[in-house]
Amino acid sequence: MTSPDRPAGNAFATVDFDKPGRQAGFVMFPHSPHNDAWGVTRLPIGIIANGTGPTVILEGGNHGDEYEGSITISEMMRDLDPAKVSGRLILMPANNVHACTSAQRTSPVDGVNLNRAFPGDPRGTITQQIAAYLTDHIFPMGNAFLDLHSGGSSLQILPSAIIEPVADAQHYARNVAAVRAFGAPNTVVIGNMGDPRTATATACRAGLTTVGTEMRGGGTVSLDALDICRKGVRNVLAHLGVIEPTGNAPPQAGDILDLPGPAAYVYADDDGVFEPFHELGTPVFAGQPAGRIHRPWDTAFRPVALRYALDGIVFGRRHLGRVAPGNCVLVVAAPAKGLPTGLSGAGA
């Protein structure tokens, strides 16, 4: 996708995308900071290719403080036998690499959140260049995309496989089938209130079968979520025909849940310390008290209950106690009704 308005950029890969077998290397982004005039930012990448079959792209570390997916992908780069693959895996375990090495959601180099940077800019800041490389060079090679997220430092989320909503019914059915094959305890549609700047929305615009995850969070590695992630990624690869069936648990068959717009979110309206009233997974209803904000350093302050705005279950909560107005403190997921909601501009 090169044009006067959309140049190819200067990034180059040290791996051969068309070569069979196992390779590990980097996508190199020329980058010229104060202490390294002609250096590069190195984005880790692995290729495992054998025979014929689909090309599946696996992304971890889009946010640098979400670890279960990053660990799973880097293990596969080392351990998966190429002879057991039919097709090609493009393995990217630490896509916002500066964010990963500093354990931050956003890049410390330019302050940009990779998952709000698509389609990116090949002449932009380093994170915008990474997004552009994925958009222009990686997604066009793929048939399917797995984007492995967790809640990050600020959120705790029920371990879930995530459906990116798309308008095209056949594409949506492909996404749902692949997400169901993951075998996570929960299946949730997340459209980020229609935001088109995410990796999954961009992969869907490129036509790829797309699977997301949310694997707990809190900026740590959760043992149960890591186990779910390791098995789920292999389950999806087997579903896509890239590896043999895994023998893991059958696809998850419970309700598909949804975050149907602003009513799903409870936001802090004051400065203080948030006390949630319910654990993750608790059924709740619209109007029910959800939690309250304390301000122990202010003797005149009286907590007032925040309330849910949706019937559903508590899907996520803020991990950090300290809150300021506007912070997301709770997320409610409700059974999905009919066609997908929160379309991200990822239509046919």
Burial status of residue 195 (CB atoms within 10 A of its CB: 0-12, 13-18, 19 or more): middle
Is the separation of the CB atoms in 112 and 128 below 8 Å? yes
Pick the closer one to Ca ion by CB: 157 or 334: 157
Q: Is 216 in the site for Ca ion (CB under 5 A)?
A: no
Q: Which region among 142-150, 158-166, 257-265, 320-328 touches Ca ion (by CB under 5 A)? A: 142-150
Q: How far is the CB of 63 from Ca ion (least distance, A)?
A: 4
Q: How far is the CB of 147 from Ca ion (least distance, A)?
A: 9
Q: How far is the CB of 99 from Ca ion (least distance, A)?
A: 11
Q: How far is the CB of 20 from Ca ion (least distance, A)?
A: 33
Is the separation of the CB atoms in 201 and 195 below 8 Å? yes
Q: How far is the CB of 338 from Ca ion (least distance, A)?
A: 27
Distance between terminal CA atoms of the chain? 19
Q: Which region among 1-9, 149-157, 221-229, 314-322 touches Ca ion (by CB under 5 A)? A: 149-157
Structure-token match 């932009």, residue found? 124
Pick the closer one to Ca ion by CB: 9 or 191: 191
Is the separation of the CB atoms in 66 and 155 below 8 Å? no
- For residue 323 the two structure tokens come to 């809150």
* Rounded distance between C-alpha atoms, residue 317 and residue 233, angstroms: 25
Q: Is 63 in the site for Ca ion (CB under 5 A)?
A: yes
Q: How far is the CB of 80 from Ca ion (least distance, A)?
A: 24
Pick the closer one to Ca ion by CB: 63 or 137: 63
What single letter denotes the amino acid at residue 224? D
Using CB under 5 A as the criterion, what x/- string covers residues 235-274 for binding Ca ion? ----------------------------------------
Q: Which region among 2-10, 61-69, 132-140, 319-327 touches Ca ion (by CB under 5 A)? A: 61-69
Closest CA to 232 of 174, 189, 157, 179: 179
Structure-token match 């039919």, residue found? 86
Q: Which region among 7-15, 26-34, 62-70, 285-293 touches Ca ion (by CB under 5 A)? A: 62-70
Burial status of residue 170 (CB atoms within 10 A of its CB: 0-12, 13-18, 19 or more): exposed
Pick the closer one to Ca ion by CB: 149 or 197: 149
What number of chain residues touch Ca ion (CB under 5 A)?
2
Is the separation of the CB atoms in 165 and 341 below 8 Å? yes
Pick the closer one to Ca ion by CB: 106 or 209: 106
Q: How far is the CB of 304 from Ca ion (least distance, A)?
A: 30
Is the separation of the CB atoms in 192 and 262 below 8 Å? no
Q: Is 149 in the site for Ca ion (CB under 5 A)?
A: yes
* Rounded distance between C-alpha atoms, residue 107 and residue 130, angstroms: 11
Q: Which region among 2-10, 47-55, 59-67, 324-332 touches Ca ion (by CB under 5 A)? A: 59-67
* Rounded distance between C-alpha atoms, residue 216 and residue 63, angstroms: 14
Burial status of residue 184 (CB atoms within 10 A of its CB: 0-12, 13-18, 19 or more): buried
Helix then strand count (H, E) for the chain reads 6, 19
Radius of gyration of the chain from its Cα atoms, rounded to whole angstroms: 20
Pick the closer one to Ca ion by CB: 13 or 193: 193
Pick the closer one to Ca ion by CB: 201 or 284: 201
Pick the closer one to Ca ion by CB: 31 or 216: 216
Pick the closer one to Ca ion by CB: 196 or 207: 196
Give me the residue whose beta carbon is nearest to Ca ion: 149
Residues that bind Ca ion (CB under 5 A): 63, 149
